[in-house]
Amino acid sequence: MLRRLSLAFVVLAAPLSAEMAHHGDIMVTGAYAYETPKSAPSGAGYLTVRNMGDTDDVLLAVKSDPMQAMMHETVEENGVARMVHKMSVPIAAGDTVNFEPGGLHIMFMGLNGDPFEEGEAVPATLVFEKAGEVAVDFTVINRRAEPPMDHGAGH
């Protein structure tokens, strides 16, 4: 079921919209990050990526200068959770991939004393193999707030 998102979402197409349509339509929704403690070196962001096209795509990187952003996945082995750095995340044609707590997430490193504060937006650029660069703002929310996620579509 498609739920209405409680926060406005941003979909920014690459400059060449014809190219975009040709190479597959990537739609990014519900991007948010949790606020961080003042001295935290890093923060985590989550979002939903949909491939509305008929061509498989791959998320290759996330840029968020001056921070370093990486794709991570939390995996559990023998009851111990650890984070694995993902070099790429496939977004198959017609697929929806959820980055959510306990699974895939965007790790922002190098906060350098500038914590994520509730209400601010963290700008980032997602780099896809075919769709190219997609700009997205991660809305920073309170740790206890309900994430602006659409959980229905991907499960």
In the complex, minimum distance from the CB of residue 105 to Cu ion, in angstroms, rounded to a whole number? 6
79 to 98, contacts with Cu ion by CB under 5 A? Answer: 83
Comparing CB distances to Cu ion, the nearer of 12 and 83 is 83
72 binds Cu ion (CB under 5 A): yes
> Could you tell me the CA-to-CA distances from 123 to 10, 79, 87, 139 in Å, in that order?
11, 34, 21, 9
- 141's CB contacts (< 8 A; 6+ apart) are 32, 33, 34, 35, 118, 147, 148
21 binds Cu ion (CB under 5 A): no
DSSP-derived pairing of the beta strands 121-128 and 42-51: unpaired
Comparing CB distances to Cu ion, the nearer of 75 and 83 is 83
DSSP-derived pairing of the beta strands 42-51 and 96-99: antiparallel
75 binds Cu ion (CB under 5 A): no
Comparing CB distances to Cu ion, the nearer of 18 and 81 is 81
Q: Which residues bind Cu ion (CB under 5 A)?
A: 72, 83, 107
